[in-house]
Chain A
């Protein structure tokens, strides 16, 4: 079996990466819903964050995800010319073309990021993006370097075991 052969070659066969996916509501989120409706089985490592549009995805979301313990990140939205908001995906494309270079400069392996277009009808493509990214991140191993980057002082903050650490939010006005 291909997957077994792949896992034998993997340097970290037991490693289950944590991957955060930033997707737009109209294409990829719906495509991922379709994958669910079609019962397409896929790796459980990817956790989806829904945003209205890829145009809303701030590059800082990606660094925040790495900071929170993610080993990989997926950004996916509507195909070019298919954006629900006409042009948000073009802005995202430009933004991430540049941001990838910045990640590279920062010493983040850009193979830890996946950018793709998955439309509302492409449930199968979403499964492939999820499985391919998971397998690739598994090959790359846990992402310890970013913790080093975000933690300049030796012996400082460690990667939290549960992968989340949240301050309590400010008080909210009554509805």
Chain B
């Protein structure tokens, strides 16, 4: 007969309010095989855990069921408590009577009855639990950082400074990300490039960091401590080992009219280009879609349509025949830092859930720009050399209107969340504008000014009180072209007056969204993402930089809208997690893995076919003379992740997932 202990938690009032915990304890105490049942206010607290340890010692328990919150919350806590009392940790399980019971029901009787059933099922399961011991696997102590923006750079530098190798992958030709596009940063107004570019160079020159720019993650296999990542190195058409970044090829390129991505379409670039002068690595790339040579080749021309860059290059670095190559790296941890994109105001949206902004001209009025475009106008290295000029006619705008929350906080457009940074950067924009156009007037239409952060509120106030920006609380119904001006039809909800402003330029603070393709990357890494595509953290409060996949961490704006300080803090957080993981040579893993009963296995290998990890191997069984008797399946414990698909597939039920065996599950189901 088993000796199970059942401990029912009140969770303060969270469970106790709707579930009669004493009744649950007494009902379970009557089950056969239950040797101890009690309830307590806070099971997870120190005295609560002490109760568990005492019960194990005094009642000689061989299994513990804690009826409390979700096992996703505290299973580890209670297993640790049991282990410290000398019991095998895997003989302890939790029944979820908070999230799945007390919080979602009001009727006390119903909730109590359900709590008893849920706990009873777990009691029956635990009676059949087997003691398990953690699996130890070696760790590849090298990290992969995906994304070379400020978050990725910070994570890479911190990990490399901690003495571990880093592979930094960036899909663009240069690292730097969106921060390299910014003019000045709030709330200090220091120049973005001045603080970022030294970090870029540091990352490039660090002996512990291998930078793979213009590369993308192709596929990921493996698991924590032992990932194998295939990286596509996109063809630059320039030999990185030969190029010295002199720039002669760009001068020679005849196609100089291509809208520059870095300048947000406000400036032009050549077909062979570096995105910006401070690019790292400072090696150009040929944009094959715009290059005359490649267009000629696509048309089937026998003669080279153009090879001016190749002729101009003194080091024979231009290589038109370069192909994408693949490189595979073994890493123990992955940091995802892919950053954001801005909500497009175009009519066509990439996603059905998002709707365009017809009332703001669908991007057809040239002097209606977004926040990043304004950053480029305000940047000393930008297309106007730091002068605020209208894209349409190059005139200085004397009246400029900023609209906040474009997309953000607008469920009708598909985005219910706040983008967090816009209030601050709009305040910054009004200041930068005032510093450059002294007689100009800035208006801001806002919903709320959210300036939570050190020095942020003071900064936002300064924009109004010292820099003369006029803040109007309300939304703008439409923008209309009126000659050279743009008519802004708005409403000031504080005075209750409709307003029409004849603006020279309008800046839309569009929402932050995750990068396109984030879903595909998340699927490669088996990490979950929310309805918007932001990567889900493991716990919103207590595990903010981990994901649900062990060994994969998340930093910066790919997890939620983030400003620079937040992204950097998160990146350093991931680095400390990675270095913590790498401080051991071996890793202890949950023994929830499949085990084959070789005596019964018929060798049909259905399990091998369904295993998503290739964990099922073939094992030959021979007699003493070495004659092959049969070939059976065998699970590699290091590779198995414990999904259990093999067990449900096995026709003869000879493979079992430890911790979720048929015997355990059938007993639990019958007891519900």
Contact = CB atoms under 8 A, between A and B. Distances in A.
B415 interface: no
Contact of A36 (B98, B106, B667, B669): B98
Contacts of A67: 670
A47 B98 contact: no
Contacts of A81: 523
Interface string B589-623: 00010000000000000000010110000000000
Contact of A169 (B2, B105, B642): B2
A82 B103 CA distance: 27
Nearest to B646: A55
A49 B528 contact: no
Interface in B451-497: none
Interface in A114-173: 119-121, 127, 163-166, 168-169, 172-173
B645 A85 contact: yes
B87 interface: yes
Contacts of B62: 172, 175
Nearest to B534: A121
Contacts of A55: 610, 643-645, 648
Nearest to B128: A169
A49 B526 contact: no
Given A82-B528, A168-B32, A52 B643 contact: yes
A82 B657 CA distance: 22
A51 B665 contact: yes
B665 A121 contact: no
Contact of B526 (A86, A121, A172, A175): A86
A70 B88 contact: no
Interface stretch (A6-14, A38-46, A104-112): A38-46
Contacts of B99: 32-33, 35-37
Interface of A is mostly: loop
B121 A169 contact: no
Given A47-B121, A49-B668, A56-B657, A119 B645 contact: no
Given A36-B103, A91-B610, A121-B531, A61 B665 contact: yes
B667 A119 contact: no
Interface in B80-117: 87-88, 91, 96, 98-101, 103-107, 110-111, 113-114, 117
Nearest to B112: A44
Given A53-B644, A85-B645, A168-B32, A44 B131 contact: no
Contacts of B87: 175
B233 interface: no
A44 B612 contact: no
A51 B96 CA distance: 14
Chain A interface bracket (under 10, 10 to 19, 20 to 34, 35 or more): 35 or more
B385 to A, nearest CB: 45
Contacts of B111: 44
Interface in A61-78: 61, 64-65, 67-68, 70
A84 B644 contact: no
Contacts of B536: 120-121
B335 to A, nearest CB: 19
Given A27-B528, A169-B128, A58 B647 contact: yes
B127 interface: yes
Contact of B120 (A27, A83, A164, A169): A164
Interface in B111-141: 111, 113-114, 117-118, 120-121, 124, 127-131
Contacts of A51: 644, 660, 665
A41 B104 CA distance: 4
A85 B671 CA distance: 28
A39 B645 CA distance: 32
B645 A53 contact: yes
Contacts of B88: 175
Nearest to B123: A166
Nearest to A19: B672
Nearest to A39: B103
Nearest to B86: A175
Nearest to B31: A166
Given A36-B98, A52-B592, A52-B642, A82 B523 contact: yes
A30 B536 CA distance: 12
Contacts of A61: 665-666, 669
A59 to B, nearest CB: 8
B669 A44 contact: no
A68 B647 CA distance: 22
B328 interface: no
Contacts of B610: 55, 87, 91
B612 A20 contact: no
Determine which residue in B642, B648, B668 has the highest number of CB atoms from chain A within 10 A of its CB, and name it. Answer: B648
A58 B649 CA distance: 8
B523 A85 contact: no
B65 to A, nearest CB: 14
B70 interface: yes
Nearest to A56: B644
Nearest to B118: A47
Contacts of B645: 53, 55-56, 85, 87-88, 91-92
A44 B110 contact: yes
B86 to A, nearest CB: 8
Contacts of B592: 52
B648 A57 contact: yes
B71 interface: yes
B549 interface: yes
B298 interface: no
A85 B526 contact: yes
A25 B649 CA distance: 19
B242 to A, nearest CB: 41
A84 B552 CA distance: 13
26 contacts: A32-B100, A33-B99, A36-B103, A41-B106, A42-B104, A44-B107, A49-B665, A50-B96, A51-B660, A55-B644, A58-B665, A60-B666, A65-B672, A82-B528, A87-B610, A88-B612, A91-B610, A92-B648, A95-B648, A119-B528, A164-B672, A166-B667, A168-B1, A172-B131, A175-B88, A175-B91
Q: A-B pairs with the 3 shortest C-beta distances?
A: A36-B99, A56-B644, A55-B645
